[in-house]
Amino acid sequence: MGRKIRLLYMENVSPLRSQTVYHAVGYAMKPDTPNTILLVSPNAPYVSIGYHQDLEKEVDLEYCAQNNLPVYRREVGGGAVYLDNGQLFTQWVFHKEDLPVSLEERFAFYVAPIVETYRALGIPAQYRPINDIHVQGKKIGGTGAAQMGIAEVLVGSLMFTFDKKTMSRVLKVSSEKMRDKIFESLEAYMTTMAEQLGYLPDRAAVKDLYLQKVSEAFGGAEIEEGTWTPEEEAMAQEIDARFLSEEWLYQKGRLRQPAVRIHQDVYLAEAAFKAPGGLIRVIARLREGRIDDVSISGDFTLFPIFAVGALEQSLRGVAATPETLKSKIEEAYYRLQIQSPGVTPGDFATAIMTAVSSLQSQ
C-alpha cells in the first residue's frame, strides 16, 4: 500500500459524533483522500442500533428516555448495543484497493492488530470468523463493515470495560426472565481487558500499542496524525442532522432480530407454544448447535414438582434437533415418572425448537 495512513483522534466527543465521524470521513472521501484510522470514544453513554433494525421492537425507549440515553441508527449492520467510554472505537475508512477483496479476508485483516494488541497485553485473544474476537470462548469484541461513497469502512473497538447490566436493560424483551437470561449470558460469554487483566491498562499505552500493530500489519506503513478537514466537518453536520431526524431513526420495515446474539457461537431467544394442556414458554441459549441452557415455564401442570428443573438440566449439551430433544425429554419422563396432563414430551420439544429455529435463522 503506497499511501500513508492518516490518524484522527476523536476522543471524548458527543455520543452523536462518535457515530457520525466515520460516516463523514467515508462520504467525504475523494480519490486523493488518505486512508484514515479514527480512534474514537464518546463523552457520555448511548445506544446504537443496526441499520436494518426496527427501533421500537429492539430498544426499551422508555428506559432510555428515563436514563438520558440517546439512541442513534448507524449505517453499519448488526444489533442494538449500549456504548460508553469504556470502549475505544477503532474505525477504518479506506480506499477499496487497499483492503482485501473478500469480506471474510477484510475482517481478518482488520481484526489482526486488535488481536495482537490484546496478546501483547497478556490476553490470549483469537480471531473468530467471520467478525468476532474471543478470549477462551468469551467475546471481547465484534466488528462491522459498510460502504460509504467510494470508501470501505470497518468498525470495532478495544474493550476496556463493558456495562453488561445496562446492556441487558436497554434491550426490549418480552419478559424480565428473558432480560435476566441476557445478563446471565453476557456475564458468561463476554469479557473485557479489565476482567482479563484484573486492572485497567493505561489507555495511552494501549493506543500506542494498537497503532504499532496496525503499522506492522501494513508492512511498516507510516501512520501520521492528521487534521479533520472543513469538508468532513460539513459532511458530519449534515449526517448529524439526518441521524437526529425521526424519519431516519424510526424507519419502518426494518428487520427484527429474532434473537439476541451474545457472540458468534452463542444466541439467546424466547418462544411460546400452546399445547392442549397449557402454554409452554421457553428461553433457550444455543451454543455451537447445542442447547447450552434452557428455561421452561408456563401455565401447564407437571408432576413431580421438581420435574421442570430436572428437564432443564437434562437438556443441557443436547443437540438442537427435534428428534434428539424429544428423545431426551421422553427419557426424563420415563426416569422421573413425569405426569403432565395435555402436554407431551413432543410439545416441550416443539416449544424449544420454536426458539431454536429463530436462533438458527440468524
Quick: pLDDT tens for 278-300.
788 888 999 888 999 998 887 77
What predicted TM-score, i.e. pTM, was given to this entire model?
A: 0.76
DSSP state at residue 34: P
Percent of the chain whose predicted confidence (pLDDT) is above 70? 95
In angstroms, the CA 123 to CA 247 distance is 43
Q: Which fold has domain 5-249?
A: BirA Bifunctional Protein; domain 2 (3.30.930)
Please state which CATH number belongs to domain 265-360.
3.30.390.50
Reported as a pLDDT band with limits 50, 70 and 90, residue 132 is confident
C-alpha to C-alpha distance for 97 and 95, rounded to whole angstroms: 6
CA-CA-CA-CA dihedral for 223, 88, 78, 359, to nearest 10: 130
Could you read off the pLDDT of 149-164 as tens digits, one per residue? 899 999 999 999 999 9
Cα–Cα distance, 282 to 311 (Å, whole number) = 12
| Domain limits, the chain | 5-249, 265-360
pLDDT of residue 83 exceeding 70, the answer is yes
pLDDT exceeds cutoff 60 at 362: no
pLDDT value at residue 360: 54
Asked if residue 253 has pLDDT above 50, the reply is no
pLDDT at 109 over 90: yes
DSSP letter (8 states) at residue 216? H
Q: What is the pLDDT of residues 311-361, one digit of tens each?
A: 999 999 999 999 999 999 999 999 889 888 788 999 999 999 998 887 655
